[in-house]
Amino acid sequence: MKEETISLGELFSILKRSKWLIASLAIIAALIAFLVSSFVISPTYEASTQVLVAPKQSEQSIDLGQVQSSINLVNTYRVIIQSPAILEQVQENVIGAPDNISNLITVNSEQNSQVINIKVQHTNPVLATDIANEISDVFSKEVPELMSVDNVKVLSNASVPMFPVKPNILLNTAIATVLGLMIGVAIAFLKVVLDRRIKTEQDVENILELPVLGSIPVIDKVEMRQQRQANMKGEQVHV
């Protein structure tokens, strides 16, 4: 059997014939993603606060060695913030705080930065704010006892977020639209590739590898009816 190839023109022809299928799948996918993101998935809000690991200032200058020491302590402090020693107190102090606070928070810092960012995500924006602020307060109070140092200050408190960070309705809808288009294109090509029916003389030569000796033209039913009516009228005229 000869190897089948599809030319660029045939590719465009396949896409043109299946344009309504492709467009319909893209619209359906986008509509489903929009409805799910808008009405099914609960919106998630994010509250953030910042803690500064500050070196002690000697007279009017800051010791660079202390600055580097503070930077090195940031990774240790990030672990302490997410430890039960801090989160258990937060859970006791914040009314309505869930048991899985550790799954709600993200603690990070920029490279070579003394600032630690504490982010809390929850479906309740007020609760997310209360948890974030309580974490920074408890941490700043507990560090002197845990590390025997007093170099942590709350740089900024969290404010109640007005807009959710998840789900991203526009992004989800756009992704679903692209996926719908890809699925539509894939189905269109599969219909052609998997269709083994012989439709033209060219198919006989390509699939069966046999020469075409003759062909029977396809006559449309409407044309056949019109021809029959014309013949009947001609016979009536001759009579």
pLDDT value at 135 more than 50: yes
Q: How far apart are CA 133 and CA 97, in angstroms?
A: 13
Domain membership flag for residue 19: yes
- Among candidate residues 164, 191, 207, the one where a domain is terminated: 164
CA 88-126-114 angle, 5° bins: 60
Domain membership flag for residue 1: no
Label residue 235 by pLDDT band (50, 70, 90): low
Contacts of 38-42 with CB under 8 Å at 24 or more apart are 38/169, 41/166, 41/167, 42/123
Position 59 scores a pLDDT of: 46
If you average pLDDT over residues 234-239, what whole number do you get?
55
Mean pLDDT of the chain: 83
Domain membership flag for residue 215: yes
Q: Are residues 59 and 150 in the same domain?
A: yes
Q: Are residues 26 and 89 in the same domain?
A: no
Q: Are residues 101 and 50 in the same domain?
A: yes
Domain membership flag for residue 57: yes
Q: What is the number of structural domains in the chain?
A: 2
Q: Are residues 33 and 72 in the same domain?
A: no
**Stronger pLDDT, 212 or 179, i.e. the higher one:** 179
Structure tokens that stand for 52 in this block = 């500064």
- Among candidate residues 135, 164, 193, the one where a domain is terminated: 164
Structure tokens that stand for 108 in this block = 């990070």
Position 15 scores a pLDDT of: 86
The residue range of the domain holding 50 is 43-164
Characterise 39 by phi-psi region: left (phi > 0), alpha (psi -120 to 50), beta (else): alpha
Q: Which of 70, 79, 74, 91 is nearest to 135 (CA)?
A: 91
